[in-house]
Structure 1
Amino acid sequence: MYFQKYIRNIRKILSYKLFTGLVFSVLGLLLFAILYTDVKPETYDMELFSVADKTIRSPKTIEDEEKTAEERNKAAEEVENVYVHRKEVAQNRVLLLTSIFDFVNEVNKEESAKKKEAEESKAEKEGSQLASSKLALLKSKLTADVTEDVTETISDQTLLQLLEADPSELEKARNILVSNVETIMNGKIREDQVNNVSSDLIGRIKSAGLEKNVENASIELGKYAIIANEVYDPKLTEERKQQAMNEVEPVKILQGQIVVQEGHLIDRDIYRQLDTLGLLKSKPTIKPFIGLAIFVLLLIGALYIPFTKLNEPEEKKQSYLLLLGIVFVGAIVLMKIISLMEGLEQYDIAYLFPAAMAPMLIRVMINERFALLMAIILAACGSIVFHDGISGTIDVEIALYILFSGLAGIMFLSDKSERFNLLRAGLLVALVNVLLIFFLQFIGSGQITNMEYLYFIINGVVSGILSAVLTMGILPFLEAGFGILSTMRLIELSNPNHPLLKRILIEAPGTYHHSVMVANLAESACEAIGANGLLARVAAYYHDLGKTKRPHFFIENQMNMENPHDKLQPATSKDIIIAHVTDGAAELKKHKMPKEIVDVAKQHHGTTLLKFFYYKAAETSDDVEESDYRYPGPKPQSKEAAIISLADSVEAAVRSLNEPTPEAIRSLVDSIVQDRLLDGQLNECDITIKQLETIKSTFCETLSGIFHSRIEYPGNKEQKVM
């Protein structure tokens, strides 16, 4: 109760949005702080070329990018340059040589006539002019008809030697040159092989026995004709190199791999690997903390979004938020404590964690949706907390275990959440835990000893039973602390052996019977319109608790006795009747009953008028204020309170009928509901006209008989002495 007062004081200071934002912020910071050590990488004070004082293993699998690049470059360097053999070059060079010789023969034929007409005395002069003319004509033909301008490479002297050569010698040179060039060029010749091939051709020409001038000309033509026909292809070479690089698998440092052994020298390669893994204190990394911050934001977002869509009053949503936060943080802390026991070298101590506890608590106190969300979030956190002692890793197996164990707790917890059902759910969760553990072990094909089997069974059973025991132990404190009325609490309060119900039964048996009838009517009506039927039933049991203070002043308890109100003034009777509302609320508060039940006790009469005593007072005096004969209120604030208020009046009014036929009951129910509407008693609750019609039909169907008659007081059949 003190906790509830403390929370209410905070709510008065902070607005709903500010309060919600503050709770989510604190929850996020706490979660980050708890998981901080689980993601913080373990670092070492290592120096280059020092001796390692311990064996260090890799905490994760990571690509060694520098080593990978080195291996890929090495593979690329091993790829030889790609050369392309151009077969058409041999034919082109042979055709070029043939064309040169053809042009030489053609020029000689054209100029031969001019040579015969020259005079004997001028032969030498004409010969010189003729040679010059033939050279010019040959160069013009070579330039005009050949795609490659050979005159830029072949000297004029070589051309003159060809022009002046004997036709038979020229033909011989042609055959030798064309034949050898074709033979040589049909082979593959690279740029660096041209000189060697040319030397080979020169040797062949010299061994052919040609005249000196023709031989020299042939050598120059041969050297000109020999070129590289196997050329370097840079594009294809680059493609081959890239292919070789792509075929190299990334070099990885595997999780658990020994990076350096104790007593070994830390060379450059080892130091680089330690740096890559973020294990050096001199070069810390913030990436794990950024990742954790993102993880926390995702979890807080997963909690925040459903709360924004929760259709509940702001005060109740805040209580739910605090409850969820406390249960969540408590479960994480418990998870953390168990994870610290991993150093005891036990077999998977994580299986001991009571994974179903938090989901079952939320299932009982809030709803199934948030319980499912809790199971998912705890599984995600468990994968980080139980990381096999290697920082920065997650354990998927334990995440599955926590998730399915939590889901089992939610599913096996029935709607009738009595204590026994909690224990039964815990036993079923234990069975599921054992099956889950065996599944995880068998799927990994692990070698399990008989002792390990026994240990796993014990862990799974303890986890399930501990979940139920902790839920049963914690639940009363949370209910009292947050004032949340759970299904389990309602069922406990509905037990006829509850001290207050026994008190009503003993001290005011008529009131007890009346309350049971009202409970039946209210529960049926609530369920018909989708309200909380169980809450209505339990609240109806206690709504008239105040009558136990003066039970004989209420008509249902007046058996074989005079009505004491006959001897009292209307004002006194009014005070006694009205007092049962405040007396009942005070008594319920004294016994720390839930707020919802106290509210029903206060609101079940609203501000209705005590018509019988008002009319009686008005008959004796004109100075009577109607407001003095009204209940203090407040008017019903919830559907359950409104339905109990209507059921209370309907049950009393029907008992007062001499002949309670279905038509009479229908007419009376319509009259009572109409009167409450006109009096504005239903203005402060969110009940609709359509729902009121459903409620009236349900009342008429539920009323099956009258157990004892009531006196019909004049003025209104609906009125009863309360």
Structure 2
Amino acid sequence: MTANKNEKRKLQTPGTRHRSVRVGLFLLLGILLYVSMLDNVQPEQLDVSLSEPAPEDIRSPITVEHEALTGEREQEALNELNPSYVHRNDYVLMQTEKVNTIFELAAEIQGENDADTASIETRVEQLQETLEEEMDQRLPEETLEILLNENEDQLMMGRDAVRNAVHEVMSEEIAVDDVPAAREEAEERVEMSMGNTQLQTASADLASRMVTANYIYDDERTAERREEALDEVEPALIREGELLAQEGEIIDAEIYEQMNLTGLLDDDFSPFPYLGLLLFVGIIVAMAAFYTAQTSSPLYYSNQALFLYVLVFFIMLATMKIMSVLDLFDMEGILWLTPIALGTMLLAQLLSYRVALYSAILFALAGSVIFNAEATGNFHVTFMIYALFSGLAGVFFLGKTPKVTKILQSGVFIALMNALTVTSFYFLSNVPITLERYGIEISFAVGAGFLAAVLTLGILPFFETGFNILSKTKLIELSNANQPLLRKILLEAPGTYHHSVMVANLSEAACEAIGTNGLLARVGAYYHDLGKTKHPQYFIENQMKIGNPHDRLSPDVSKQIIIDHPGDGARMLEKHNFPKQIVDFAKQHHGTSLLKYFYHKAKEKGMEPDEADYRYSGPKPQFKESAVLAIADSVEAAVRAMDAPTGEKIEKLVNGIIRDKLVDGQFDECDLTMKEISIIRNTMCETLQGTFHSRIEYPENGEGEKEKKTNDG
């Protein structure tokens, strides 16, 4: 694990990932975002007065409750609510039990006082006290005196008459207001059943007093209904985007109050919108930083790539800001003309496919704030969706191996996506479509796709030149045979040049087969052995008509010359300001593989060599094209050394070389899959069989020689 980290460090030039520089770049990105969106979050304040016309259409910037109006609605609901009553059936039983008790007590006192000569006043007083203790009931003395003067049979008759009257009357609902009438009815029932006697008078009085209200106010149920009624009252909301006053409308007290509630008349400074924007920008920058730290994109390895990313972001913010200013001139649908795909296509061409995809989300988020002038809040959600689809469309069409020729074609695809998105907005709004307005907005949306493509083509060369980015145009320029370093290889190491061309053919075919950049692999192969020009005669392909100088050197000296050539080539390429990817081909094409020939030669000489000293310094291949080149380099050299190569021999040799590299862990640091390795093997075998095919042996006679020359000619 430590070795892998050390190898990755070798890939990075000093200061490539200097921490303070990276922090500064992310801080710069945050400042650009904050400044570009600052005026879009400043609270809107109106200079209006009561009884004056509104200078423009005034809409609520927020959703807020109109508490006073809500209170009025609640009070109206309570006023319309009738109180709840309940019929207490148990009251009739309770009152008839009281009747039984009164007559039983009267009979009991009569029985107790039959033997003595107690006065009637004493017995009335005794009965009154008993009733107060047991029933908390007090009755007129005249009624009690009549009861105490009657015999037991008369008392039982009076009890039954009173009890029946009370039961019959109280079986019906009796409200408080109905009590007097119910008591009169009870008296009448007693009088009808008993006739006109003293006991009847007392019984009627008792019946009247025992009748009470049984249809009473239900406090608990009424409280529940009040709560239910209040819950059903919808709060009076002033919703975000609601039209408070049309242009020219006279501002009355109600409209003025609504403006005050929504903060449109608030002159006090509030820091919250600015703090909210700061948090929003902080989240965007943090997400970008986390993505950078957790992926193997160029943003992670190079501050130069991160600076390029910030610069592209600045271009997009400036473009969106300019378009938002044009949107203020009331041009219908001008915001759809924003070439939002410009940023994602630039990032796909200059950095990577995944960076462009992720950035499409960030561009859309920033655009939703910058274009919020037509929105009811701080975010224009419709534009955010439009920007997201448009940005993603540009990346998807360019693909993982973007080409300059596809940029204009992608403009057509983006235009189509933009048009479909705007059309979907129209259909979702469910409003009548005005053909004139719809045509204008669709035209702007389509124009945005072509504008993004044209701007990408125009800006791309400046980035490629300024940041020394390896574009397709640059690759074609580097593949020119008149390039000084290629001429150097051809003139000083012609065998190496021929080997490089063969490796280039193999690498390009294999890379195209697995869907990676074949042109990059070809150009990398042209320069991968540039280091051999330092000591060309020490490499077998250049040893024509001369002896092998390694025969006169010790194995440790020979291995050092061979092992040094990747580093020598990388330094020469860096000296001539070659792009980093081409330098990486020179560094990585042997990885950390073992120089087996001289290692075993040293062992044969009894030198006890350390295997680590006979390995290339690396690093191992870090990307697919480099890994393909490493395979092609070994395969071409091995096949060229074969006697009478056949298809079967070539296939066996290629399989062995790939297997050895896999076992040695040479592909551990690149994302090459086993399926891709299988495709690479098959492609190289086909290419080599076409190159090293069997030739016809011509007969040694004049006619044969003539035919051979003709065919070879």
Q: TM-score, normalization: structure 1?
A: 0.70
C-alpha offsets along residues 481-503 of structure 1, whole Å, 9 cap, x if unaligned? 445546x4676457658856996
Instruction: Say if 1:404 and 1:201 are closer, same or farther in 2 by CA, change over 3 A.
Output: same
- In 2, the alpha carbon distance for the partners of 1:676 and 1:193 equals 107
Q: Which residue of 2 aligns with 1:615?
A: none
Amino acid at match of 1:369: R
Q: CA deviation at 1:663?
A: 9.1
Counterpart contact for 1:39–1:391, Cα < 8 Å? no
Give the residue type in structure 1 aligned to 2:55. K
Query: After the TM superposition, which residues 398-477 of structure 1 pair with which residues of structure 2 at under 5 Å, given as runs?
Result: 398-477=383-462
Q: Distance in 1 between matches of 2:681 and 2:193?
A: 131
Are 1:234 and 2:219 matched, yes or no? yes
Q: Deviations over 1:262-284 (max 9, x none)?
A: 674563x5454224322233355
Q: Which residue of 1 aligns with 2:350?
A: 365
- Aligned partner of residue 423 in structure 1, secondary structure: helix
Shifted more, 423-432 versus 85-94: the winner is 85-94
Query: SS in structure 2 opposite 1:258?
Result: strand
User: What SS does the corresponding residue of 2:263 show, helix, strand or coil?
Assistant: coil
Q: Which residue does the alignment assign to 2:607?
A: none
| 1:131 and 2:120 correspond | yes
What do the CA deviations read for 1:2-46 (whole angstroms, capped 9, x no partner)?
xxxxx978657x43xx54444334423432332232233312356
- Check if 1:257 corresponds to 2:257: no
1:341 is displaced (CA, Å) by 0.9
Distance in 2, matches of 1:489 and 1:271, equals 64
What's the CA shift string for 1:563-613, capped at 9, x where partnerless? Answer: 8999xx99xxxxx9999989976885577531221344577689999999x
Contact 1:39–1:392 (CA under 8 A) maintained in structure 2? no
1:236: Cα distance to partner? Answer: 0.3
The Cα shift of 1:329 comes to: 3.4
Give, in whole Å, the separation in 2 of the partners of 1:370 and 1:577: 39
What is the match of residue 307 of structure 2?
322
Cα shift at 1:331: 1.5
Distance of 2:482 and 2:227 partners within structure 1? 84
Instruction: Provide, for residues 396-423 of structure 1, a one-character-per-residue CA deviation record: whole Å limited to 9, x for no partner.
Output: 3322222222222122214553322111
Q: 2:18 matched to 1:32?
A: no
Match of 1:54 in 2: 55
Matched, 1:148 2:135: yes
| Cα distance change on mapping 1:282 and 1:172 into 2, 3 Å | farther
* 2:511–2:517 contact (8 Å) kept in structure 1: yes
Range with bigger deviation, 488-497 or 433-442: 488-497
Give the Å deviation of 1:310: 1.3
TM-aligned CA distance change 1:261 to 1:99, over 3 Å: farther
Cα distance in 1 for partners of 2:181, 2:206 equals 16
Q: 1:238: how far off?
A: 0.9
Task: Output one character per residue of 1:34-64: Cα deviation in whole Å (capped at 9) or x when no partner.
Answer: 22322333123567x6857635322344443
CA contact (8 A) 1:98 1:178 kept: yes
Q: How far 1:476 moved relative to its partner?
A: 3.0
Partner of 2:102: 100
Change (3 A) 1:286 1:206: farther
Question: Alpha-carbon deviation of 1:69?
Answer: 3.7
- Which residue does the alignment assign to 1:720? none
Aligned pairs for 1:216-365 (under 5 A) are 221=206, 224-254=209-239, 255-259=241-245, 264=250, 267=253, 269-283=254-268, 285=270, 288-289=273-274, 291-311=276-296, 316-365=301-350
Q: In 2, are the aligned partners of 1:347 and 1:455 still within 8 Å (CA)?
A: yes
Residue pairs, 1:45-84, within 5 angstroms: 54-55=55-56, 56-84=58-86
In the alignment, the residues of structure 2 paired with residue 167 and residue 671 of structure 1 have an alpha-carbon distance, to the nearest angstrom, of: 129
Q: Pick which of 433-442 and 286-295 moved more.
A: 286-295
Per-residue deviation at 1:338? 0.5
Quick check: 1:523–1:537 contact (8 Å CA) kept in 2?
Answer: yes
Q: 1:214 & 1:668 partners in 2: Cα distance?
A: 134
For 1:305-704, list aligned pairs within 5 A. Answer: 305-311=290-296, 316-390=301-375, 392-485=377-470, 488=472, 492=476, 512-523=497-508, 535-543=520-528, 592-601=577-586, 638=621, 644=629, 648=633, 651=636, 655=640, 659-660=644-645, 703-704=688-689
Tell whether the 8 Å contact from 1:43 to 1:279 is kept in structure 2 after alignment: yes
State whether residues 38 and 392 of structure 1, in contact with CA within 8 Å, keep that contact through their aligned partners in structure 2.
Answer: no
In 1, the alpha carbon distance for the partners of 2:170 and 2:368 equals 72
Report how far residue 656 of structure 1 moved: 5.9
Amino acid at match of 1:68: T
How far did residue 424 of structure 1 move? 0.9
Q: Please state whether the residue corresponding to 2:328 is helix, strand or coil.
A: helix
* Residues 225 and 261 of structure 1: CA distance in aligned 2, closer, same or farther (over 3 Å): farther
**Retained in 2: the 8 A contact 1:355–1:405?**
yes
Give the SS at the match of 1:344.
Answer: coil
Quote the offset at 1:352 in angstroms: 0.3
How far 1:211 moved relative to its partner? 9.1
CA distance 1:158–1:605, shift in 2 (3 Å): closer
Alignment counterpart, residue 160 of structure 1, candidates 135, 139, 145? 145
In structure 1, what residue type is equivalent to 2:76?
A: K
Q: Which amino acid aligns with 1:41?
A: P
Within 1, Cα distance between the matches of 2:620 and 2:482?
A: 27
Shift in CA distance, 457/89, structure 1 to aligned 2, threshold 3 Å: closer
Q: CA deviation at 1:130?
A: 4.6
- Relative to structure 1, the CA distance from residue 41 to residue 391 in structure 2 (aligned partners, 3 Å threshold; closer, same or farther) is farther
Between the two proteins, the alignment pairs up a number of residues equal to: 656
Q: How big is each residue's C-alpha offset from its partner over 1:90-135, in whole Å with a ceiling of 9 and x where there is no partner?
A: 4543453355345545655775x658xxxxxxxxxx4xx2535644
Residues 1:607 and 1:416: Cα distance change in structure 2 (over 3 Å):
closer
Q: Cα distance 1:221–1:414, how it changes in 2: closer, same or farther (>3 A)?
A: closer
Q: Structure 2 vs 1, CA of residues 292 and 392 (structure 1 numbering), >3 Å: closer, same or farther?
A: farther
SS in 2 for 1:84: strand
Q: What RMSD over aligned residues (CA atoms) do the two structures have, in Å?
A: 5.9
Whole-Å Cα distance in 2 between the matches of residues 491 and 210 of structure 1? 129
* Residue identity in the other structure for 1:427: V
C-alpha offsets along residues 335-364 of structure 1, whole Å, 9 cap, x if unaligned? 122111112221111110112222222223
Q: Which amino acid aligns with 1:131?
A: I
Q: 1:141 to 1:706 in 2, by over 3 A?
A: closer
Q: Specify whether residues 422 and 512 from structure 1 end up closer, same or farther in structure 2 by C-alpha distance, changes over 3 A only.
A: farther
Is contact 1:104-1:138 (8 Å) kept? Answer: yes
What's the TM-score once normalised by structure 2's chain length? 0.71
Gap runs ≥5 in structure 1: 1-6, 116-125, 571-575, 613-629, 708-722
